[in-house]
Amino acid sequence: MPARIQPTARQVRLGAELRKLREAAGLTSRQAAALLGTNPAQMSQIEAGNAGVSGERVRKLGVQYDCSDTELIDALVEMATDRTRGWWEEYRGLLPAVFQDLAELEHHATFMRVVGTVHVPGLLQTEEYARAVFAYVVPELPENEVELRVEHRMRRRQILSGAPYEAVLHESVLRTRVADRRGARAQLDELLNQSERSNVSLRVIPFDADGFAGAGAMMLYAGGRVPALDTVQRDAPYGSMFLDASARLLAMRTLFRRVESAALTPAQSRDYISRLTKEL
68 & 201 share domain: no
147 & 269 share domain: yes
Q: Which pTM does this prediction carry? A: 0.94
In a domain, 86, yes or no: no
Q: Which helix (H) or strand (E) holds 34?
A: helix 29-36
Residue span of the structural domain in which 145 resides: 92-279
Per-residue DSSP letter, 96:
-
131 & 232 share domain: yes
In a domain, 137, yes or no: yes
- Each residue's pLDDT expressed in tens, for the chain with a length of 280 residues: 556 678 999 999 999 999 999 999 999 999 999 999 999 999 999 999 999 999 999 999 999 999 999 999 999 999 999 988 899 999 999 999 999 999 999 999 999 999 999 999 999 999 999 999 999 998 999 999 999 999 999 999 999 999 999 999 999 999 999 989 999 999 999 999 999 999 999 999 999 999 899 888 899 999 999 999 999 999 876 678 999 999 999 999 999 999 999 999 999 999 999 999 999 8
Distance, in Å, from the CA atom of 127 to the CA atom of 116, rounded to the nearest integer, reads: 18
Q: Which helix (H) or strand (E) holds 250?
A: helix 246-261
In a domain, 125, yes or no: yes
Number of domains in the chain: 2
What CATH number is given to the structural domain containing 197?
Answer: 3.30.870
71 & 100 share domain: no
238 & 120 share domain: yes
